[in-house]
C-alpha cells in the first residue's frame, strides 16, 4: 500500500524504524556501553522529527517523541553526572512532554492504565503506575499541557520546580457518585509529573527485561526521584491546575456577576476542596472579599502547600459566594454549607482534625468569617422587628428562613479565624461607599424582597423599615451601617482563637502608615487577637504577599501544635 501524508513525516517514520533496527543489530545490550554523544544526538534528532510530525498532524509523532525520551534516558543512565547530563535531561523532559501531549490528542493514552506506542518489538501497551497521590488512579480522566494553561489573573508568583520529568495537569470529571463529590468542582484539575522508565536492555538490543513503565508522581508529596546513578528534584507546575480550574469556573466573571447580578448566583454558593477530603487533617477554608472569588488566594494557597509539613497537617478549601446578596443571607448560606460539610465528612464529630478547622477571610470575607464565630442573640433581629420571632404570624418555612438569617450560634468545629485586611470598623473615608465605591453598586439587594414584603403584610406594625434596607457587601462597608456596628460589638466565641493581619501600604513606613489604602490599621485590628501583625502591602496585594504567607504559615504551625 502506498504511504500517504507529508513527505517529511514518511521520512521521519522510516528513519525511526531504520535506526531502531540498526541499533539493535549493533548488539549494545547494556546502558553502560552506550556512546553518550551519539545516543544524545539520536534522542535530540528524534525529538526534532517528532516536532515536525506533530505540526503536520501525524500520529507517528507519538512514537518519535517516545524514542527521544528513551534514548535521552539511556544517555543519562550512561553518564548521569557528566557534562552532557543537563542537555540529556532537557531532551528527556521535552520528549516525554511532547509524547504525552500528542498521545492525548490522538487518544493513544488512558492515564488510568496505559500508553500505546511502537517499541523495539512493535506496538506495545506501556503500563501506567501512580505514586503518592491522594487521588485514586480512577480519577485520571485526562491530561492537559501545563504550558498551554490559561492566565489566572490572581496568580502573581511562580510555583513551579525544575527537575526530572514532564509536569502534567490531570483532569478529573465529577460524576457525583458519592456525597463527598458535592465538595469537588466538575471538572477538577490537579498536578502530576510523568517519568518514563524504559527497559534499556530491550531498546539497546539485549534480551529485554520487565518492559517500559510510565509513572505519574504527585509532585506535592514527592519532592525528589531516583534516576539511574542519581537522585534529583521532581519537576512540577502547581499553578497550571488552578489556572485551568479558574477558567473552568469563570472565576473573574463570576466574581463580578456575584456583585452586579446576585439574583443569578443565589444557588451558586460553593464550598469546594482542592483535593479529596482526608480524614485527620485540619481543613483551612478561605473566604474571599467584595466582587472576588477564592482564586484571590492562589498564591497563598500554593505557597502554603509548598511549605514543609503543611500537607501533612492541613487540607485546603475555598468558599465562593455572591457578594451582592443581602449580607446576612450570604452568611446564612455559608453557615448552611459548613454544617453540610461536617454532616458529610465528620457526622459523629469524632475527627480531631476536622474539629479543629480554620477560617481565613480577606477584607469583606473576614466579616463573613466573623459571622460564623459569634452568637447572634437577639442583636440582629432587634434591628428589623419590635416583636419576638416566635410571636409573628408566619408559616414554618418563613419562620425557619428568618431564624437562619437572624439567629445563630458559632459553627462548633471552627477553632481559629485569621482576618486579612478585614474592615471590622469600616473603611477609610476615601474608600467608603460614595468614595471609591460607586453608589450605583450599593442599591438594595433584591434576594429577600419578597420575604420582607410577606412578613410585613402578615404582621402589620411588627417589621421595622430596616428590614427592607438590609445591606449587601458594599452597604455593609459603611461604618455607620447598623448591621456593621452590631457585628463589630459582638464578641468572638471563647473557644475560637483569632489573629489579624493588616496592611500598611507598600511605600509608607509601617511606623507611620495608617492603613493599606482601603482599610485603616485600626479597623483591621481586633481586641483579644493572639497576634496582630502589620505587613507592608496594599489591600489588593496582601493575599499575594510573602510576608502574609510567612505569617499565616507561622500561625498554622502553632495551631496544629495545639
Of 450, 448, 456, the C-alpha closest to 393 is 456
Of 251, 233, 232, 234, the C-alpha closest to 189 is 251
- pLDDT confidence of residue 429: 61
Q: Rounded to an integer, what distance in angstroms lies between the CA atom of residue 220 and that of residue 167?
A: 12
**Pairing state between β 224-227 and 230-233:** antiparallel
In order along its 562 residues, the chain shows pLDDT tens digits of 333 333 343 434 434 333 433 343 333 334 347 899 999 999 999 999 999 999 999 999 999 999 999 999 999 999 998 999 999 999 999 999 999 999 999 999 999 999 999 988 899 999 999 999 999 999 999 999 999 999 999 999 999 999 999 999 999 999 888 999 999 999 999 999 999 999 999 999 877 788 999 999 999 999 999 998 889 999 999 999 999 999 999 876 554 454 445 454 556 789 999 999 999 999 999 999 988 899 999 999 999 999 999 999 999 999 999 888 889 999 999 999 999 999 999 999 999 999 999 999 999 999 999 999 999 999 999 999 999 999 999 999 999 999 999 999 999 999 999 999 999 999 876 555 544 454 455 455 677 888 999 999 999 999 999 998 888 878 888 888 999 999 999 999 999 999 999 999 987 766 566 899 999 999 999 999 999 999 999 999 999 999 999 999 999 999 999 8
- pLDDT confidence of residue 431: 56
**Pairing state between β 270-273 and 166-172:** unpaired
The domain ranges of the chain are 7-240, 259-431+471-560
Q: Using the CB atoms, write b or e for 55-80: b if 16+ within 10 Å.
A: eeebbbbbbbbbbbbbbbbbbbbbbb
How many helices and strands (H and E) does the chain possess?
16, 18
H, E, C per residue of 77-116: HHCCCCCCHHHHHHHHHHHHHHHHHHHHHCCCEECCCEEE
- pLDDT confidence of residue 229: 82
Q: How many CA atoms lie within 13 A of 291 on its CB side?
A: 11
Q: Rounded to an integer, what distance in angstroms lies between the CA atom of residue 469 and that of residue 456?
A: 13
Give Cα separations from 242 to 135, 152, 270, 275, 437 (angstroms): 16, 8, 16, 12, 29
Q: Which grid cell is 375?
A: 452568637
Topology of the domain comprising 259-431+471-560: Rossmann fold (3.40.50)
The contacts of residue 108 (CB under 8 Å, 6+ apart) are 59, 62, 102, 115, 116, 117
Q: Rounded to an integer, what distance in angstroms lies between the CA atom of residue 105 and that of residue 144?
A: 10
The contacts of residue 547 (CB under 8 Å, 6+ apart) are 535, 536, 537
- pLDDT confidence of residue 477: 81
Q: Rounded to an integer, what distance in angstroms lies between the CA atom of residue 500 and that of residue 524?
A: 7
- pLDDT confidence of residue 257: 52
- pLDDT confidence of residue 88: 96
- pLDDT confidence of residue 506: 83
Of 524, 510, 507, the C-alpha closest to 428 is 524
Give Cα separations from 318 to 284, 338, 520 (angstroms): 8, 11, 26
Give Cα separations from 200 to 4, 100, 322 (angstroms): 32, 20, 56
- pLDDT confidence of residue 267: 67
Of 483, 264, 514, the C-alpha closest to 368 is 483
Q: How many CA atoms lie within 13 A of 40 on its CB side?
A: 19
Of 418, 421, 424, 157, the C-alpha closest to 284 is 418
Q: Which grid cell is 187?
A: 471538572
For the whole model, what pTM was predicted?
0.90
**Residue 329, φ and ψ in degrees, nearest 5:** -70, -45
Amino acid at each position: 500500500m502506498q504511504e500517504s501524508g507529508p513527505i517529511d513525516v514518511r521520512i521521519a517514520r522510516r528513519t525511526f524504524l531504520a535506526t531502531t533496527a540498526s541499533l539493535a543489530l549493533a548488539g549494545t545490550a547494556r546502558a553502560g556501553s552506550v556512546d553518550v554523544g551519539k545516543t544524545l544526538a539520536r534522542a535530540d534528532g528524534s525529538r526534532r522529527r517528532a516536532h515536525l510530525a506533530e505540526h503536520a498532524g501525524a500520529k507517528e509523532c507519538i512514537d518519535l517523541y517516545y524514542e527521544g525520551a528513551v534514548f535521552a534516558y539511556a544517555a543519562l543512565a550512561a553518564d548521569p553526572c557528566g557534562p552532557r547530563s543537563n542537555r540529556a535531561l532537557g531532551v528527556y523532559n521535552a520528549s516525554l512532554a511532547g509524547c504525552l501531549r500528542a498521545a492525548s490528542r490522538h487518544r493513544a493514552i488512558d492515564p488510568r492504565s496505559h500508553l500505546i506506542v511502537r517499541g523495539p518489538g512493535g506496538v506495545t501497551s506501556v503500563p501506567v503506575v501512580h505514586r503518592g497521590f491522594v487521588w485514586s488512579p480512577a480519577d485520571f480522566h485526562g491530561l492537559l499541557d501545563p504550558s498551554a494553561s490559561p492566565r489566572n489573573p490572581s496568580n502573581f508568583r511562580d510555583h513551579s520546580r525544575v527537575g526530572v520529568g514532564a509536569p502534567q495537569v490531570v483532569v478529573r470529571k465529577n460524576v457525583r457518585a458519592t456525597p463527598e463529590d458535592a465538595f469537588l468542582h466538575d471538572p477538577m484539575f490537579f498536578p502530576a509529573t510523568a517519568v518514563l522508565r524504559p527497559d534499556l536492555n530491550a531498546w539497546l538490543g539485549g534480551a529485554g527485561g520487565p518492559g517500559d513503565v510510565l509513572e505519574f508522581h504527585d509532585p506535592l508529596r514527592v519532592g525528589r526521584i531516583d534516576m539511574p546513578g542519581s537522585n534529583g528534584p521532581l519537576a512540577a507546575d502547581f499553578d497550571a491546575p488552578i489556572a485551568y480550574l479558574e477558567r473552568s469556573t469563570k472565576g473573574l466573571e463570576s466574581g463580578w456577576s456575584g456583585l452586579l447580578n446576585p439574583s443569578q448566583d443565589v444557588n451558586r454558593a460553593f464550598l469546594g476542596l482542592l483535593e479529596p477530603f482526608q480524614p485527620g487533617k485540619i481543613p483551612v477554608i478561605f473566604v474571599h472579599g467584595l466582587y472576588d472569588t477564592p482564586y484571590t488566594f492562589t498564591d497563598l494557597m500554593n505557597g502554603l502547600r509548598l511549605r514543609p509539613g503543611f500537607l501533612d497537617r492541613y487540607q485546603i478549601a475555598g468558599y465562593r459566594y455572591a457578594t451582592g446578596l443581602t449580607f446576612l443571607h450570604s452568611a446564612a448560606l455559608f453557615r448552611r454549607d459548613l454544617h453540610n460539610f461536617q454532616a458529610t465528612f465528620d457526622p459523629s464529630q469524632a475527627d480531631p482534625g476536622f474539629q479543629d478547622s480554620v477560617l481565613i477571610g480577606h477584607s469583606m470575607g473576614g466579616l463573613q468569617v466573623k459571622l460564623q464565630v459569634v452568637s447572634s442573640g437577639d442583636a440582629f433581629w432587634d434591628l428589623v422587628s419590635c416583636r419576638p420571632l416566635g410571636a409573628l404570624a408566619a408559616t414554618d418555612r418563613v419562620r425557619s428562613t428568618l431564624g437562619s438569617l437572624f439567629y445563630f450560634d458559632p459553627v462548633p468545629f471552627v477553632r481559629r479565624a485569621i482576618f486579612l485586611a478585614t474592615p471590622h470598623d469600616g473603611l477609610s473615608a476615601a474608600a467608603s461607599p460614595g468614595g471609591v465605591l460607586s453608589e450605583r453598586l450599593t442599591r438594595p439587594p433584591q434576594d429577600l424582597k419578597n420575604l420582607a414584603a410577606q412578613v410585613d403584610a402578615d404582621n402589620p406594625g411588627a417589621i421595622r423599615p430596616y428590614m427592607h434596607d438590609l445591606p449587601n457587601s458594599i452597604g455593609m462597608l459603611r461604618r455607620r451601617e447598623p448591621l456593621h456596628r452590631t457585628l463589630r460589638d459582638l464578641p468572638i466565641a471563647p473557644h475560637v482563637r483569632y489573629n489579624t493581619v493588616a496592611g500598611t501600604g507598600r511605600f509608607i513606613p509601617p511606623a507611620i502608615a495608617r492603613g493599606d489604602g482601603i482599610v485603616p490599621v485600626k479597623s483591621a485590628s481586633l481586641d483579644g487577637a493572639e497576634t496582630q501583625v502589620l505587613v507592608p502591602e496594599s489591600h489588593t496585594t496582601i493575599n499575594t504577599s510573602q510576608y502574609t504567607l510567612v505569617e499565616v504559615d507561622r500561625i498554622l504551625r502553632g495551631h496544629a501544635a495545639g
